[in-house]
Amino acid sequence: MCLTTCPTYDLTKFERSSPRGRIQLIRAVADGRLGITPAFVDEMNFCLDCQACETACPAGVKYGRMVESARVLIEKTKTRHTISDRIKKIGLNFILTSRIRLRIAGFLLWFVQASGIQKALIKTGLLDLFGKNLTEYLKLLPQMKFRNTEGMLKGINLKPRNPSYKVAFLSGCIMDIAFSDVNYDTVKFLLKNNCEVFIPRGQVCCGSLHAHNGEMDTAVKLMKKNIDIFSSEGYDFLVSNSAGCGAFMKEYGHLMEDDAEYKERAGVFSEKVKDFSEFALLLDYSQKMKSPEGVVTYHDACHLVHSQKISSQPREMLSRIPGMKLVNLHESTWCCGSAGIYNVTRYEDSMKFLEKKMGNIRETKADLIITANPGCMLQIQYGLQKDGSQAKVEHPATLMNRLMREE
Amino acid sequence: MQYHLVDELKRICGEKNVYDSPEDKIAYSYDGTPLYYKEPLAIVFPQDADQISRIMKFANESEFAVVPRGAGTGLSGGSVPVDNSIVMVMTKWNKILEIDQSNLTAWVEPGVITGNFQREVEKIGLFYPPDPGSLNVCTIGGNVAENAGGLRGLKYGVTKNYVMGYEMVLPTGDVLKFGGKNYKDVAGYNLRDIAIGSEGTLGIFTKILLRLIPLPQRSITMKAHFNSLLDSGRSVAEIIASHIVPSMIEFLDNTTINCIEDYTKIGLPRNAAAMLILEVDGRGDIVDFEANKILEILKTNNGQGIQHTSNADEANILKTARRSAFSALARRAPTVILEDATVPRSELPVMIEKVQEAARKFDLMIGNFGHAGDGNLHPTCLIDERNQSELDRAMKAFDFIFEEAIKLGGTITGEHGTGLAKKQFFEKSAEIPALDLMRKIKSSVDPNNVLNPGKIFSRSPKCESYKF
């Protein structure tokens, strides 16, 4: 059942690039029949971890967890690290673990982008000297924002007088420096719908990037910190506007099962996590909205549809907008190839998945593509740019806030 | 030897179409059958019939075996490698070559995915009915080799009813073409039916000619549950006796109902002894007439919670229970052994009792569901293969179930095939002259026993040299 849903099997038609093939390889390694060979490592990294196979599996096999454990094993047994490994490690364990360091990095990157250095680098082709894809990677980078979430929300009252819900919000790591506008829209939408928004200071990255890349120890540290900080105050739900973060935070409870101290609180923490669209359905917003212009289509982020099994909610949320012209995207649940940092670590493969996605997007003739994960947004944006298309990509929260009239 | 083997295969098929890394060998060491596992010497993706022919000739010279493989979803070990074998993968042969709308036929390559083919012909109002459970993954070539069935068997038959001809490479490397677009053709022996269900032991399909029929215009789906097995059995018998041929009569037993309810929480009656899901299809008022007749029969036989609909979405809801049966059972245990004992449909109620008896006798959890209309049951045993005692008991239970099925005039396999998994039962239950004839056919077609050897039956009764 899993074979037909797997993007890598679809591409190669090789059994070892299929979910059950990889499971057999992992089993062979676990049984000692196979060592951690370069081909094994390659196969584990070729996997997008989109978890479409989990959605299809009749027996409910938790494939994602197996691949992640395999990646942890690969990291642990690595004796030599390449430059890109080192950069990845610094990124994950040094920059992403601290808000201050992250914001400094974000600011530096913003400076490079805003000052025109990036453009110049791309134009001169200087970067091609370092590797043929470096220029393309830069184009895939998100545009850093000058102000982070906190900065954008300065002076805005987050506590309405008689709130319907008290909502906690994780401003995230990459979201905070590159998508603070989406964070702003999310918070504004919640406020316009009479919710109190609780954004605790000292919160950290949710840890998903670390866990997906074999750095589980760091992920655990981050998880504990977030649990401590968020549970300092009571709230109804924790609303997530990033599919990856939401999926991972819903797993805290499971991941902390063996930790006597955190087990219980982690469970409570996870139960309160809701995706933006899940939560929006509790609100009565449609009366207060303008109609969107043009035709809209929706791309399912893997971490929403496959990890969180959320597919009807965002569509329902969008169709409650008056005058919404929502068209169906063929194979909307297929991974766009962004897959975390996959489009950087395996650029060429990633582009093949993007090409398939763009073909389907072209067919919808949509003016606006809605998707709820920053990775997908960047990847599809990049695809549209390559196509020379006029269509735009937007996060659902941005659309929702944009169409919502001020009270 | 192996270097020579891989080099020669690469010479025949090209560097890029032969694989022998440890990773690839592991990935082609299994199919959909639990408990069977063997690594091949190499994996080859042939590009045309000539390459297959050359590989077969080479196999005869060098004495290695060739195991053909489609999507590897089979449930009897048909495409699991054997000793000293290479796997020949046909999944890249995935083109629909021709759809002939005047003759209602289609030429396809063997690697075409069954579900894709169905969707393609349905676009032009045609219908290819065989619908095995894995239809979105499995290939036509595999379906023909296994003579696959499905939910629609009762009214529309199985794969063999839709094969009109083929081109295949024989184990010796010769290419055989047989059949054609003639609805009537009695020239010579019917070699078509010998190839169908041969489980990859007589040849490798390179092209298949399929028969198509007009797509039914509408359908009505019905559902009822029963407090006693007897009532459900009687309903099925009466429907068939009233000369109505539903396109589907699916049965679920109490264990399966409870597993589905645990998993889906759709409000199924936990105390019900059995549940039936039925469908009639066709044209115009006849469909209503047949549905009304069935509803009447369900009512007089104490059917509870009877529902019916002609709306496609509502029908899907009614069918949810049956569709989730396998998933719901599969989630219960690490190892799921899905069997397909089949009996003449009049014996179905007795067979259902026997499966329950087996579960009690050997202290196992066995869910039972299946195609009640055609007597094809799927007793599904839920065990953990690491627990040896449980595994032994399961084997004994299936021994018992197959024996009872044979006693009732039934068969050990209705649609999954014999392969490796049911070979020992087959050799025990088949008539000696029939088995002898099959062995003679195999050895005259494949004198050196190079194509999928040791599947279905051992070549000679006393030969113990093949160990799987």
Average pLDDT across chain A, whole number: 87
Q: What percentage of chain B has pLDDT greater than the value 90? A: 77
Residue B139: φ, ψ to 5°: -110, 155
| Per-residue confidence (pLDDT) for residue A118, from 0 to 100 | 67
Residue B391: φ, ψ to 5°: -65, -45
CB A95 within 8 A of CB A173: no
pLDDT tens column, A21-50:
999 999 999 999 999 999 999 999 999 989
Mean of pLDDT values over B183-200: 94
Question: For the structural domain made of A286-403, what CATH number should be given?
Answer: 3.40.50
| Per-residue confidence (pLDDT) for residue A169, from 0 to 100 | 93
Q: Which residues pair with B42 in a beta bridge?
A: B86
| Higher-scoring residue by pLDDT: B327, A248 | A248
Mean of pLDDT values over A66-75: 86
Taking CB atoms and an 8 Å limit, are A4 and B137 in contact across chains?
A: yes
On the question of pLDDT at B309 being above 60, the answer is yes
Which helix (H) or strand (E) segment holds residue B230: the answer is helix B229-241
Mean of pLDDT values over B241-258: 93
Average pLDDT across chain B, whole number: 92
Mean of pLDDT values over B385-412: 92
What is the pLDDT confidence band of residue B468, given thresholds at 50, 70 and 90? very low
pLDDT tens column, B9-40:
999 999 999 999 999 999 999 998 888 999 99
Give the helix ranges, DSSP H, for A7-140: 7-12, 19-30, 38-46, 52-56, 63-77, 83-90, 99-114, 117-124, 134-140
Topology, domain A149-280: Rossmann fold (3.40.50)
Helix then strand count (H, E) for chain B reads: 16, 18
What is the pLDDT confidence band of residue B464, given thresholds at 50, 70 and 90? very low
Mean of pLDDT values over B318-340: 85
Taking CB atoms and an 8 Å limit, are A24 and B29 in contact across chains?
A: yes
On the question of pLDDT at B98 being above 70, the answer is yes
pLDDT tens column, A273-306:
999 999 999 999 988 899 998 999 999 999 999 9
CATH architecture classification, B218-407 = 3-Layer(aba) Sandwich (3.40)
Question: For the structural domain made of B2-89, what CATH number should be given?
Answer: 3.30.43.10
| Per-residue confidence (pLDDT) for residue A80, from 0 to 100 | 66
CB B31 within 8 A of CB B74: yes
Taking CB atoms and an 8 Å limit, are B330 and A39 in contact across chains?
A: no
Spatial strand order in the sheet of B105-108 = B96-100, B105-108, B204-211, B163-169, B175-179
Contact map slice: A 133-172 vs B, CB within 8 A: none
On the question of pLDDT at A132 being above 70, the answer is no
What is the Cα B266 distance to its own chain's centre? Answer: 29
| Per-residue confidence (pLDDT) for residue B4, from 0 to 100 | 86
On the question of pLDDT at A130 being above 70, the answer is no
d(CA A345, CA B300): 66
| Per-residue confidence (pLDDT) for residue A216, from 0 to 100 | 84
Q: What percentage of chain B has pLDDT greater than the value 70? A: 97
Taking CB atoms and an 8 Å limit, are A16 and B23 in contact across chains?
A: yes
pLDDT tens column, A227-263:
999 988 889 999 999 998 999 999 999 999 899 999 9
| Token duo for residue B156 | 């529309």
Q: Specify the range with the lowest mean pLDDT, choosing from A119-133, B1-15, B41-55.
A: A119-133
pLDDT tens column, B120-166:
999 999 999 999 988 889 999 999 999 999 889 999 999 999 999 99
Mean of pLDDT values over B352-366: 93
On the question of pLDDT at B466 being above 50, the answer is no
Report angle CA A325, A329, A334 to the nearest 5 degrees: 150
Question: Do B2-89 and B99-214 share a fold?
Answer: no
| Per-residue confidence (pLDDT) for residue B312, from 0 to 100 | 87
pLDDT tens column, A358-402:
999 999 999 999 999 988 999 999 999 999 999 999 999 999 999
On the question of pLDDT at A181 being above 50, the answer is yes
Contact map slice: A 187-216 vs B, CB within 8 A: none
Taking CB atoms and an 8 Å limit, are A15 and B22 in contact across chains?
A: no
d(CA A100, CA A204): 10
Closest-CA distance, B315 to chain A, in angstroms, reads 20
Contacts A28 to B, Cβ<8 Å? 26
Which chain B residue's Cα is nearest to A6?
Answer: B137
- List chain B domain ranges: 2-89, 99-214, 218-407
pTM of the model: 0.85
| Per-residue confidence (pLDDT) for residue A352, from 0 to 100 | 94
CB A43 within 8 A of CB A17: yes
Residue B137 has its nearest CB partner, among A1, A25, A33, at A1
What is the Cα B391 distance to its own chain's centre? Answer: 23
Closest-CA distance, B102 to chain A, in angstroms, reads 32
Looking at domain B99-214, does it have CATH number 3.30.70.20?
A: no
pLDDT tens column, B407-434:
999 999 999 999 999 998 898 888 899 9
- List chain A domain ranges: 3-77, 83-140, 149-280, 286-403
- Taking an 8 Å Cβ-Cβ cutoff, which residues of chain B contact chain A? 19, 21-24, 26-30, 71-72, 89, 91-92, 113, 134, 136-137, 326-327, 330-331, 336
The closest of B348, B395, B392 to B369, measured between CA atoms, is B348
Taking CB atoms and an 8 Å limit, are A1 and B134 in contact across chains?
A: yes
d(CA B201, CA A163): 72
Q: What is the DSSP string of B112-152?
A: -BHHHHHHHHHTTTEE-----TTTTT-BHHHHHHHT---TT
On the question of pLDDT at B463 being above 70, the answer is no
Which chain A residue's Cα is nearest to B139?
Answer: A4
| Per-residue confidence (pLDDT) for residue A145, from 0 to 100 | 76
Residue A39 forms contact with B (CB below 8 Å): yes
